[in-house]
Copies of this chain bind each other. A is one copy, B any other.
Amino acid sequence: MTNDYAGEILAGSVRATARLISWLEDEDQRALEHMERLYPHTGRAYVIGITGSPGAGKSTLTDKLSYAIRRQGLTIGIIAVDPSSPFTGGAVLGDRVRMTRLGVDPGVYIRSMATRGFLGGLARATSDVVKVLDAFGKDIIIIETVGVGQDEVDIIRLADTTCLVLVPGLGDTIQSMKAGVMEIADLFVINKADRVGADQLLSEVALRIQQDSQIKNKPWTPELVKTVAVEDQGVNDLWDAIRRHRTFLESDGRLLEKRRERTRNETLQMIHNELFRRIRGRLAENGELDRLVDQILAAKTDPYAVMRGVIGDWLHTP
C-alpha cells in the first residue's frame, strides 16, 4: 500500500512533507504521483529569493525577515540552497543559528538542499520543493542561495521578488558585477550598513539603478534598502519594500505573466527530463549504449551520428 503523502501534506503533516522533499532531492520517481496530486493546491504562496556573495549575511537576514513576517501572522517555508562547492562544502550554511529559535516555531518550515550530481538537478528539485511547501500551506517561501553558478541563477528565477544582498568591503562593488545581476535583482539590500564604505556602496548602486532604468525603460525600478541584520535594523523596511514589489507585480497581471513563463519553462523541463530518463534507461538496460560506445571507440561511428540515430529511432513526430 502506498503512503498518501499528498493527502498528509495537505493536512499539514511535517513528516510527509520531509519525506516527499527527500524523494525529490534523490530524484526518486515515486515523488511524481504525489507532486501531481499536490499541483492543484499550488500557486498561492509568494516566493522571495535572497541571494548574494558568501559572507553577505544572507542567513541572518533571512532569519530576521522571517521573524518580521511571522509577526504579521503569515507562515513561512525557508529553502536554504547550499551551492556545495566541494572545497567549501557546507561551510556556507554551517552555523544554523535559526535552527534553534525559528526551528521550533510550527509556522516555519526550514529545509537545506545541496547540489546533486545531475544536470540542473538542484534548480529542478528546488522548484518542486517550492511547490510542496506551497501546497503544505506556507504563505511566504524564502529561497536563500549563494549566487554562484548557473544552477543558482536558475534557482533565483523561481522567486517572485529577488533581493540581492551586498555588503561594504566584500569586494561587492557594483562595477564588478555582470550585467545579468541588474536583471535579477528587484531589491538591493545593503547589509552590514553600519560598516565603513556602506554609504559609498549605496550611492554606487543607486547610480547604477538610475542609469539602468534610463537605458532600459523598465517598469520596475529596483529599490534600495539598508539593513544591519544582526541588530534587526531595516528588516521591516525590507519587508515593506518586498510588499511594494508584490503589489507592483500583482497590478496589471504582471505576477500572472511571470508565473505563466515559469509554468512554460517547467513544463518543457519536465518533458525533457522524462524523455531523457526513458531513453537513457532503455539504452543502458539492454546494453545498447555500451555497444554504441564500442563502435565509437572502434572509429566505426561517432557520437554525433549515434545521437542522430538514437533520436531518429525514438522520437516520433506526431
Q: Chain A: residues with CB nearer than 8 A to chain B?
A: 32, 35-36, 39-40, 52-53, 83-91, 115-123, 147-154, 171-172, 176-178, 180-181, 184, 256, 259-260, 263-264, 266-268, 270-272, 274-276, 278-280, 282-284, 289-290, 292-293, 296-297, 299, 302-308, 310-311, 313-318
Question: B91–A147 contact, CB under 8 A?
Answer: no
Q: Are A263 and B297 in contact (CB under 8 A)?
A: yes
User: In the complex, what residues of B have CB within 8 A of residue A52's CB?
Assistant: 87
Q: Could you jot down 17 A-B contacts, CB within 8 Å? A: A39-B303, A52-B87, A53-B87, A85-B149, A88-B148, A119-B120, A149-B149, A263-B293, A270-B303, A270-B307, A271-B307, A274-B307, A275-B315, A279-B315, A282-B317, A314-B316, A315-B316
A164: min CB distance to chain B, Å? 8
Q: A116: shortest Cβ distance to chain B, in Å?
A: 8
Interface of A, secondary structure class, is: helix
Chain B hits for A263, CB < 8 A: 293, 296-297, 303
- Say whether, besides A148-B148, A315-B278, A260 and B178 are in contact (CB < 8 Å): no
| Inter-chain contact A176/B289, CB cutoff 8 Å | no
Measured between beta carbons, the chain B residues less than 8 angstroms from A86 are 147, 153, 177-178, 180-181, 184
Residues A315 and B318 in contact, CB atoms below 8 Å apart: no
Leading 10 A-B pairs by shortest Cβ distance: A316-B316, A149-B149, A119-B120, A89-B178, A36-B304, A313-B318, A85-B148, A270-B307, A39-B302, A267-B303
